[in-house]
Amino acid sequence: MQKTIRICHLYGNLLNTYGDNGNLLMIQYYARQSGYQVETTIVSLEDHFSANDYDIVFFGGGQDYEQKIVSQDIQRHREALKTYIENNGVLLAICGGFQLLGQYYVAADGQQIKGLNLLDFYTESQDNHRFIGDIEIFDEINQKTYYGFENHNGMTYLQGDLQALGKVITGNGNNGQDKTEGLHYKNVYASYFHGPLLVRNEDLAQHLVQLAIDQINGRLANKTEIQ
């Protein structure tokens, strides 16, 4: 019997700007290349999210209006998402999705939007300025170079021991100051890369799928031992 990778697209009908759905397509492609069927579910306003129902979660970005709506609705999923993350669930967050994992972000109009506070970082806004252009970073953990395009007003500051996805070689990254870009915590990968991220960085797409497969195999092995 062919196994299935279950993908959750968080608020996929609202947070889908900059062509970042291409990340979802890449995950689906490499899952099938690995011999798995793919089941993709959009979890949106008033829908239910369970930490045990998915192998990969994709959380994209959108305009401020949509993100404010999502920021209010998603609070009811906080504990389930925390459980998912701490149990090594695979999660890819881009731009607005990235920002909402933290304490808060400040919208372009100056309004502070409450985040999920799942990871220790926060995002401020710039006055009449955006980080726009090509970007290159080096992922020291996986020893990979990633290429992309950034377009964001937010300036994100990682706190404590939280690790970045990579060190900025060219471009601005999280805040244009500390040479960090994105975030990597357990099996959570977050970034400001558009392009989309996984289309230009196929190794990372394959890595995310393999992480999900490892989790699936681990659960199956534990179930066999229990029986």
Q: pLDDT tens digit string along 14-30? A: 888 777 889 999 999 99
Share of the chain above pLDDT 90, in %: 81
User: Dihedral sign, CA of 165, 204, 154, 170?
Assistant: positive
Beta bridge partners of 148: 135
pLDDT value of position 65: 85
H or E, element range at 222: helix 202-226
Q: Which positions are annotated as active-site residues?
A: 95, 194
For the chain, the structural domain boundaries read 4-226
pLDDT value of position 16: 82
The amino acid that residue 54 corresponds to is Y
CA 206 to chain centre: 15
* Residues 197, 23: Cα–Cα separation, whole Å: 7
The amino acid that residue 199 corresponds to is V
pLDDT value of position 224: 56
Q: Is 221 exposed, middle or buried (0-12, 13-18, 19+ CB in 10 A)?
A: exposed
- Residue 155's contacts (CB-CB under 8 Å, 6 or more residues apart) are 123, 124, 125, 126, 174, 175, 176, 177
Please, how many CA atoms are within 13 Å of residue 168, restricted to the half-sphere of its CB? 21
**Residue carrying the six token digits 């947070």:** 15
Give yes or no for a cis peptide into 196 (omega within 30° of 0): yes
* Section 104-126 average pLDDT: 93
Name the pLDDT band for 218 (thresholds 50, 70, 90): confident
Assigned CATH class of 4-226: alpha beta
